[in-house]
Structure formats: C-alpha cells, structure tokens
C-alpha cells in the first residue's frame, strides 16, 4: 500500500510576504499542506484539512488547537516563517512530538533582552546592554548612558524603532521617538515587551547576515551576506545583501563560530536561523539571531544546486530545504549555487502615498539584474524608518562576482522613480 504524502503544518501570518514561496515549495515537493493562520480563511469550512486557525498570540493555546487538528489529520512537520510563528511552531512541535526547537529557546530568540542575557552569560560577544521601561525619565537615563548607543524595542521586526544616539540630546530624542512607536495601539496591545526599551552599546564595523540551518543543535551556514551600505545609523533600514561575502576567510570562520555559539547559548536545536553579526578588530559580535529564515522576498537571492545521477543540475529554494528538514525528508544539497547573488531591499523614497513607480522596465534591462519586484501597491502609505518597516520592493541580481552584482543592484535602483503624494 503506498505511503500517503507527509503533511506539513505551515504557519503563515496573514500579512506575510512569504506565502507564495512556501506554498509553492510544498507543492513542488508533493507534500500535503495545511496552512495555519491567525485569522480564519473564508475557505476553512470548505477545506478543513487544508486550512486551520491557530492563536498565534498564545503559543500554548495554538499548540492545543494543533493537537485537536492532529487528532483527525496526522501532521508530520511544522514550519514557521517569521519571528512570532517561530515560537508557535516550537510549541506545536513539542506538543505533537515533531522536529523543532524547545519553546524556551524559540522564545528567548524572539526577545532581544532575553537573548542578550543568555548570550552574555554564555560568553558570546554581544554589545553591553541595559533594559529600561518606557516610563523611565529619558533625561536622567541619558546623563548616565555611554555613547554612541542604540535604542531598540524588544520585538519589532525589520529594525523598526531602532535608533542610534551619539549625545544625551540625541538619546532623549530617540527615546521619545521609540516610545511613540511603542504607544501606537497595534504595538501597545502586544504585551509587556511594548513597554520596554533596550539600550545597548553601538558596535562599529561591517555587518553581515548569516543564513543557516540547525540540525540537532549544529549549525550549517548556508550563506553569509555582506551588507555593503554601512549601517551606522541613526536609523537602520537595510538595503543591499550580497553573497558570497568578501570578508576574509578567517573572519567568515569567526562569524560562523559566533553564530554557532549563539545557537548553542539559546538552546536552538532544529530549523532555520537568520543572524546579524558585526565584525571588527575585536572579532565577531552577535547583534541579533532569529529562529526563522531571512525575511521579505530576500530568500529569492538564495538558490541551492545539486546534480542528479545523470549529471543534470537541480536547484532548490531555501523554502524547499526548510520544508524537507522539518519533514525529515532527504536534503539533496546545502551548497549554494556557484554564482554571486544579491538583493536590494528598495529604500523608502520618503513619506507619502504611492501613486506609481517609473523605470521598472529600464531597471530590469540592467545587465545581471534578474527581477525588479514592486510590492507596495498604489495608494499605499510609505513610511520611512524608524517608524516604518515595509520596503516598497526588491531588486535581484546574479553574476560572476559580488562586486558586479552590487553594482547592478545600484544601477537598477538608480533607474527607479517613485511617484508619491503627501499623506493626509
């Protein structure tokens, strides 16, 4: 009797960019998919096997809901796509005995303060840090702070709310700005963390992003991305990611060792990680590590290649590797393609309502550029950092060298013109 295809429980928040990449990767692999979201799909009653609602705000409750679902539909693996669902996936994995992270480890990775505490205790190089409440007197704290420093919320993604301060006046301005973000209703209702502010030493030096896959606690580095635009502040909107990294091999080894040390310190056991690491003359510094894959559309910059028995090249996406890992399926390769690859998260051109984008065709004609994706829709309000966290689009390029890819991304971006109107 043929064995039924394994069932994947895919945790997809309704506002994620990651839907198509994961759903289509699962289809390519021939696995049965149940999509879990935090709000009911209009088709849930029509397809109760393929759609389920889980309370992403309460991982323990979500695990109970998953248990109820699994009573009638055997689940073989669970995959999360972002920070919040990473904790839910850990809870579901524990509840159902699936491959995953301990809940405590996923929760520690989710909270920047808890993460700092565990990493520092384990001897991982992290910036000096202090936790404040948003009710603190900024003038008093500013007098005692060391400069330059960085103020951060404990959980917001995409560097939203992260501000550098070089002086006491700058600190007070940054504090008030971050506090205002934390007091926005959709943030304030998220929990106690929205009333906390992390202040940490600013670590100079180039920053890289590490994509990795953890198996039984051991990290395999899938790619190290250079971030050629210096992230010096005052805000930390990302732009270009290019791989392979041009850091010296010894520096890359230190970066990888730093990420592995962080994985171990947090107790992560299984699944993807995305880490931000800085490197300077004092070595590698773990800035942040998340128990999830790279965000947005950026995974399109990663492609993995293997050769089958006939010598034909087969490529796999990051999402396919993550799904295979979660389901315990064989993984043909963890080797990234030979070409250099990069993505530009298109910077927000300024505050306003988007009316259109010119020059997309011209940008796509730039040699090495493979795709220009505008994800912002007409009528969408564009919000710059630090209040904002949504890029209006992404540019992808591939080529012989990282330098060439980087140049192509910049050239393509220069051809884009965003037409905006002032917001009401």
Partner 1 sequence: MSIADLRITAEPIDNGRCKFLVSEPIHAGGVRRFASPDEARGSPLPEAIFAIPGADVSEVIVSGNLVTVVKRNPAPWPVVGKAVGQAIRAALAGGQPAVTAKPVAPESATTDDALYERVADLFDSQVNPMVARHGGRVELIDVQDAVVMVRMAGGCQGCGMADVTLRQGIEAMLQQHVPDVKGIVDITDHTAGSNPYFAAAKK
Residues in touch with partner 1 (CB under 8 A): 12-17, 19-20, 23-25, 27-28, 33, 35, 37, 41-43, 46-47, 50-51, 82, 157-158, 238, 295-296, 303, 312-315, 317, 345, 360-361, 364, 370-375, 377-380, 389-391, 396, 398
Residue 17 or 129: the one with the smaller Cβ distance to partner 1 is 17
- Residue 244 backbone phi and psi in degrees, to 5: -75, 155
**For residues 132 and 242, what is the distance between their CA atoms, to the nearest angstrom?**
35
In angstroms, give the least distance from the CB of 353 to partner 1: 11
Question: Do 239 and 412 form a contact (C-beta atoms < 8 A)?
Answer: no
Q: Would you say 33 or 124 has its CB closer to partner 1? A: 33
Contact 63, 9 (CB under 8 A): no
Measured CA to CA, the distance from residue 316 to residue 299 in angstroms comes to 11
Q: Determine the Cα–Cα distance for residues 131 and 354; give it in Å rounded to an integer.
A: 37
- In the complex, the smallest distance separating the C-beta of residue 157 from partner 1, rounded to whole angstroms, is 5
User: Which of 171, 160, 178, 243 minimizes the C-alpha distance to 202?
Assistant: 171
CB 319 within 8 A of CB 21: yes
What are the C-alpha distances in Å from 135 to residues 167, 308, 385? 20, 60, 23
* Min dist. Cβ of residue 144 to partner 1 (A): 33
User: Is the Cβ–Cβ distance between 386 and 163 less than 8 Å?
Assistant: yes
- Residue among 169 and 417 whose Cβ is closer to partner 1: 417
Task: Output 285 or 391, the one with its CB closest to partner 1.
Answer: 391
Q: Give the nearest distance from C-beta 335 to partner 1 in angstroms.
A: 15
Least distance from C-beta 164 to partner 1, angstroms?
19
Q: How many CB atoms lie within 10 A of CB 2?
A: 4
Least distance in Å: CB of 96 to partner 1? 20
- For the bound state, the minimum distance from the C-beta of residue 371 to partner 1, rounded and expressed in Å, comes to 6
User: Residue 328 Cβ, how far from partner 1 at the closest point, in Å?
Assistant: 23
Nearer residue to partner 1 within complex by CB, 17 or 418: 17
β-pairing, 240-243 with 340-345? antiparallel
Q: How far is the CB of 191 from partner 1 (least distance, A)?
A: 17
Among residues 317 and 402, whose Cβ is nearest to partner 1? Answer: 317
Q: Are 326 and 99 in contact (CB under 8 A)?
A: yes
Q: Are 40 and 109 in contact (CB under 8 A)?
A: no
Cα separation, 123 vs 262, whole angstroms: 9
Q: Which CB atom, from 19 or from 117, has the smaller least distance to partner 1?
A: 19
Give the residue with the Cβ less far from partner 1, 124 or 346: 346
- What is the SS3 assignment for 194? helix
Closer residue to partner 1 (CB): 117 or 401: 401
**Between the CA atoms of 183, 186, 191 and 197, what dihedral angle is there, to the nearest 10 degrees?**
-40
């Amino acid at each position: 009797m043929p064995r039924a295809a394994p069932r994947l429980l895919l945790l997809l928040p309704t506002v994620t960019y990651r839907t198509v990449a994961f759903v289509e990767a699962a289809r390519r692999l021939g696995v049965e998919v149940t999509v879990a979201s935090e709000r009911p799909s209009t088709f849930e009653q029509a397809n109760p096997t393929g759609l389920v609602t889980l309370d992403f705000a309460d991982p323990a409750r979500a695990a109970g809901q998953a248990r109820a679902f699994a009573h009638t539909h055997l689940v073989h693996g669970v995959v999360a796509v972002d920070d919040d669902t990473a904790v839910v996936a850990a809870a579901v994995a524990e509840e159902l005995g699936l491959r995953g992270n301990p809940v405590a480890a996923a929760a520690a990775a989710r909270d920047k303060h808890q993460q700092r505490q565990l990493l520092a205790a384990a001897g991982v190089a992290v910036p000096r840090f202090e936790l404040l409440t948003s009710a603190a007197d900024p003038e008093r704290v500013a007098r005692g702070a060391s400069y330059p420093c960085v103020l951060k919320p404990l959980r917001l993604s995409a560097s939203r709310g992260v501000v550098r301060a070089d002086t006491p006046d700058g600190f007070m301005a940054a504090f008030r700005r971050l506090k205002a973000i934390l007091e926005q209703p959709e943030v304030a209702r998220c929990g106690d963390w929205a009333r906390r502010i992390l202040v940490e030493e600013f670590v100079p030096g180039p920053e890289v992003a590490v994509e990795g896959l953890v198996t039984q606690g051991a990290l395999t580095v899938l790619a190290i991305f250079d971030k050629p635009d210096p992230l010096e502040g005052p805000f930390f909107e990302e732009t270009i990611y290019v791989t392979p990294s041009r850091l010296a091999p010894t520096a890359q080894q230190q970066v990888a060792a730093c990420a592995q040390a962080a994985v171990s310190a947090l107790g992560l056991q299984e699944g993807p990680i995305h880490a931000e690491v800085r490197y300077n003359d004092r070595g590698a510094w773990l800035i942040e590590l998340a128990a999830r894959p790279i965000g947005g559309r950026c995974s399109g910059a990663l492609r993995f290649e293997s050769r089958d028995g006939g010598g034909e090249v087969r490529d796999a996406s990051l999402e396919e590797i993550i799904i295979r890992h979660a389901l315990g399926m064989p993984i043909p390769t963890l080797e990234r393609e030979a070409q250099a690859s990069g993505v530009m998260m298109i910077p927000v051109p300024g505050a306003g309502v988007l009316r259109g984008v010119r020059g997309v065709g011209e940008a796509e004609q730039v040699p090495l550029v493979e795709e220009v994706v505008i994800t912002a829709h007409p009528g969408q309000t564009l919000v710059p950092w630090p209040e904002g966290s949504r890029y209006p689009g992404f540019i992808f390029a591939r080529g012989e060298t990282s330098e060439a890819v980087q140049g192509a991304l910049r050239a393509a971006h220069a051809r884009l013109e965003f037409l905006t109107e002032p917001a009401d």
